[in-house]
Amino acid sequence: MAQAAPPSRGPVGRAGTTDLLSGRAHRAAKVAVPVLTGLVYGYWAAANRRDAGPVTGSNLLFGFLTALAFALAFMALLALAPKLRREMHAVLWAAFSGIAVGFLFNQAAGSVLRSTALGLAVAAGVFGVMFYRFYTHEDATGHPTG
């Protein structure tokens, strides 16, 4: 005779997934991930700008300011975007990604037109992926399904 399996005893997050990290770790990650990603982005932009030349004080300043701007924009996106409907949520992610890629390409001595074209292409792809993800994981009011 078959019996129902007992319920799991581990911590359960949204949509029935197991949450391995504590609330404190999630709060720390909300700051650490954008800051670390911003530092990598700032280093990448500064390296593109100096084009294998010497590292100068202005190059370091440019890298840190770029990292700061990227991290603040990323944190704002993480805080603001989930409160919006899925269409605008996807548009914000697409704009952020397209601008970030276009800016990096421009720092590598790419022309403004090619940087814009690449940024728009990346934004279109990110919009398609993010809209599909939000459309399949949310109901019409923006609440998670499942």
99 domain-assigned = yes
107 and 128 part of one domain: yes
75 domain-assigned = yes
Residues 6+ apart with CB under 8 A from 85: 142
90 and 127 part of one domain: yes
6 domain-assigned = no
Picking from 80, 100, 121, the residue at the C-terminal end of a domain is 80
66 and 102 part of one domain: no
Identify the three-state secondary structure at position 18. Answer: strand
Question: Distance of alpha carbon 48 from its chain centroid, rounded?
Answer: 21
59 and 96 part of one domain: no
Picking from 32, 61, 80, the residue at the C-terminal end of a domain is 80
Q: Which of 82-86, 101-105, 111-115, 117-121 has the lowest mean pLDDT?
A: 82-86
Taking only the tens place, the pLDDT of each residue in 10-67 is 555 555 567 777 888 888 888 999 999 999 999 999 999 888 788 889 999 999 999 9
69 and 117 part of one domain: no
137 and 113 part of one domain: yes
12 domain-assigned = no
Picking from 35, 65, 80, the residue at the C-terminal end of a domain is 80
Determine the structural domain holding residue 72 and report its residue range: 23-80
Taking only the tens place, the pLDDT of each residue in 107-144 is 988 889 999 999 999 999 999 999 999 888 777 666 66
Tell me how far apart the alpha carbons of residues 119 and 77 are, in angstroms, rounded to a whole number.
Answer: 18
Structural domain count, the chain: 2
4 domain-assigned = no
Residues 6+ apart with CB under 8 A from 11: 18, 19, 20
